[in-house]
Structure 1
């Protein structure tokens, strides 16, 4: 197990903070029908006149069974972006501390850091979108508090090797946030079973991708109890609303359908990749462990606008480091992918 002291890593103001307690934190349901006069709610019954469960107990119980991890190691957030910001608020002193990111990477790590007044160290990935061979020496030279690693990576789509990630977790003197938003599409295993092994490991997953619930804005964070307690200490009261909790619970009862859809998406990805390699203006199709494909084309702005004119929207990722003249294509339904393929054929014939 990692020897990092989490409380020493956190800001003193967080360690000393006495958290706000909601009315529903103080009163825990015991099965009896009670007259609730504690939270200043409107007493006229509707489906949503009462506050939601502030601790999301039923939802965490369901996640706990599926993920095979204790409730005490689960934190739920309003999308993963909320927890990225909360972690910075807990561990990084504004204007003094810094984080590490590895461009090209998910843009919200940098945005969250800037909002919170946290300095950012950027360690670019190599031309294969992988870590430098001297990565351990590089990361510890910055004396950083947190590093963010999305695997599979966004926008490149590739996973980082298990051995690389493990080496970084072992050698880094701060928190390693492993963002597994796309893990259900990858053949690589989640690091979730390693939470017990590494105190400095934080894993984020989401309902927005394979679960097909982007609209409910629900992120899952898994970490040791000390980190989870600190997250609960500073989160907003009732941060997960009743509609989100109910919808997520229903989805968790239908995980076979989620697995089925993921397999269909992966089959469609393979089909798309085969077609993309046929077009003259596509210079490279990058390997993908996610539900999207990054391609390098001759002129990304031109090809992006041509697709827009054909009523197809992809992502122009050319402004990201190392991604000049690239487009990121999400794998859609077969009918949507067929429209894309036909559009690209027309462009190829121009």
Structure 2
């Protein structure tokens, strides 16, 4: 354990004093035949299934199932409306607007910066190196007494590569603030999750999601794993019923299908490797960044014209060609075998037409 780390010293004073809203479902736990405590409509819902009762505010059944899959106890788990809710809560808990700052390591997930702007928190950008790894010396130089959070996306979006584990551990050991490791794409990577190291690093917060490998993007369920003390802070700040009952019900059913998801992951990784090899054969492709995610970053000729050509064909990819360190690149999500075949044919057609 890091003896010098103090969670209390990082926490905003108003959050320390905050008395969270106590909902009807917080005050009563157990089974009852008549519920007249929450001003709900006792007659039901105008739908085939009743949603007239407020959901479990702490999603106990979902967390119990996730524990069996993730190996993280419920007390170390926060469920949010996407990972974006967890990101926003981190700013509100630890960053005093107009005073504190965070460190971002672009190119990276854009919501870290957006959330900083929403919360009026300064951010300091320390670009990744040319091989998309952490610049430890410049990160150390950017830290000051008001630096509260460092965001690290691994596998990284939009580059797809994993960040060296030993470099993340170096920051965890030496930084006195919160280190947020965003593992949205961890299911597609060979490296183990940092969620297994919560006891070792009290300043660690790990973000994951059901939007990628689990195919539940429309449900907006994100996860944060951290010490019990940090999770208690999340639960203190979050809205009373942040995960609706429909989402909880569907997720509970979906989590029974681990084998299906594992098969999808294998196929996505195989398709990723096949698509990489096919693209690397094209003379117009300068580089395909090795990926541990369900997408690849491809540097190629005429990226903007190719992007528009694909749009005209009804194929939507992500143009990253103007992003620093991703100049000339498109980000391609791995689709089904049929979709990937159509994508490749379209790329071949474009370059043969413009040759």
Q: Which runs of 5 or more structure 2 residues have no equivalent in the other structure?
A: none
How many angstroms apart in 1 are the aligned matches of 2:145 and 2:312? 46
Q: Which residue of 2 aligns with 1:21?
A: 22
Deviation track 1:15-43 (CA, whole Å, cap 9, x = no partner) reads 111110100000001x3x42111001111
Structure 1 position 222 matched with structure 2 position 233: no
SS in 2 for 1:134: helix
Aligned to 1:2: 2
TM-score if structure 2 supplies the norm length? Answer: 0.96
In 2, are the aligned partners of 1:285 and 1:296 still within 8 Å (CA)?
Answer: yes
Partner deviation per Cα, 1:34-78 (whole Å, 9 max, x = no partner): 211100111112310111111101011111122112211110000
Distance 1:130 1:185, change over 3 A: same
Matches within 5 A, 1:1-350: 1-3=1-3, 4-29=5-30, 31=31, 33-46=32-45, 47-135=50-138, 137-141=140-144, 143-350=146-353
Structure 1 length as normaliser, TM-score? 0.97
Structure 1 outlier segments of 4+, above 6 Å: none
277-286 vs 232-241, greater mean Cα deviation: 277-286
- Distance in structure 2 (CA, Å) of the matches to 1:107 and 1:100: 13
For the structure 1 residues 336 and 91, does the alpha-carbon distance in structure 2 shift closer, same or farther, using more than 3 Å as the test? same
Structure 1 CA distance, aligned partners of 2:98 and 2:250? 40
Deviates further, 60-69 or 326-335: 60-69
SS at match of 2:206: strand
Cα shift at 1:142: 6.7
Displacement of 1:137 in angstroms is 2.7
Once the 2 structures are TM-superposed, how far is the Cα of residue 212 of structure 1 from its aligned partner? 0.5
Q: How far apart, CA to CA, are the structure 1 residues paired with 2:257 and 2:53?
A: 27
Matched position secondary structure for 2:147: coil
Q: How far apart are 1:7 and its partner, in Å?
A: 1.4
| Counterparts of 1:156 and 1:143, CA distance in 2 | 29
What is the deviation of 1:218?
0.2
Aligned residues: 348
Answer whether contact 1:294 1:328 (CA < 8 A) is retained: yes
Seen in structure 2, the aligned counterparts of structure 1 residues 322 and 253 have a Cα distance that, compared at 3 Å, is same
Deviation at 1:140, TM superposition (A): 3.1
In 1, Cα distance between the equivalents of 2:313 and 2:284?
A: 17
The answer (yes or no) to whether the contact 2:10–2:148 under 8 Å persists in 1 is yes
**Considering only aligned residues, what root-mean-square deviation do their CA atoms show, in Å?**
1.2
How far the C-alpha of 1:138 sits from its partner, in A, is: 2.5
Q: Deviations over 1:158-200 (max 9, x none)?
A: 0011111111111111000000000000011111110011110
Task: Go from structure 1 to structure 2 and tell me whether the alpha carbon gap of 1:135 and 1:163 turns closer, same or farther (over 3 Å shift).
Answer: farther
In structure 2, how many angstroms separate the alpha carbons of the residues matched to 1:176 and 1:242?
31
Give, in whole Å, the separation in 2 of the partners of 1:136 and 1:315: 28
